[in-house]
Structure 1
Amino acid sequence: MNSVDDLITLIQDELGLPIDTGDAESSFDDVPGWDSVHLLWLLTALERETGRSVPLAALLEAPSLRAVYDLASAPA
């Protein structure tokens, strides 16, 4: 995953949500169609896509998709 655009594409493809790059900075409450179950699906998709573990506790505290991208792309 090289950019937040890649994360948005992953969410569109894996979760089927109608979001775009402009939603990356929004609070999860403002992301169209988002609910808490999507975060668990996203965790699984991210780990499969990146080949590494993403800490669930940190993911649960992430305030936005941009923060999720930062977690998923942080050096191991």
Structure 2
Amino acid sequence: MNTVDEFVTLVCDEVGLLVTAEDLDSGLDQVAGWDSVHLLTLMVALERSTGRPLSMPDLLEAPTLGHVYQLAVRP
């Protein structure tokens, strides 16, 4: 996963939420249907997709899906 579009597709396919690139800047509490279980599901999908672990504390502090994306793609 290297692009925002791939991230959005992963969220839609793995988490089951219909989001768009425009939703990445919205607060997680503004994403329709979002809950904490989705964060765990997304974390596992991102780790599988990127092949590396992500920090749960960092993900818990992420205010937006865009921030989650940045955590997933940072070197």
Q: TM-score, normalised by structure 1?
A: 0.94
Which residue of the partner structure matches residue 64 of structure 1? Answer: 64
The reply to whether residue 2 of structure 1 matches residue 8 of structure 2 is: no
Name the counterpart of 1:14. Answer: 14
Is there any run of 5+ residues in structure 1 with no aligned partner, and where? none
Match of 2:39 in 1: 39
Q: Report the Cα distance in structure 1 between the residues aligned to 2:44 and 2:52, rounded to whole angstroms.
A: 10
Partner of 2:54: 54
TM-score normalized with structure 2 length:
0.95
Q: Cα offset for 1:60?
A: 0.4
What's the CA shift for 1:37? 0.6
Counterpart of 2:27 in structure 1 is 27
Query: Deviation of residue 22 (structure 1)?
Result: 0.8
- Aligned length in residues: 75
The equivalent residue for 1:74 is: 74
CA RMSD of aligned residues (A): 0.7
Q: Which runs of no fewer than 5 residues in structure 2 stay unpaired?
A: none
Which runs of 4 or more aligned residues in structure 1 lie more than 2 Å from their structure 2 counterparts after TM superposition?
none
- Structure 1 residue 73: Cα displacement: 0.4
- Percent identity over the alignment is 55
Structure 1 residue identity aligned to 2:51: G
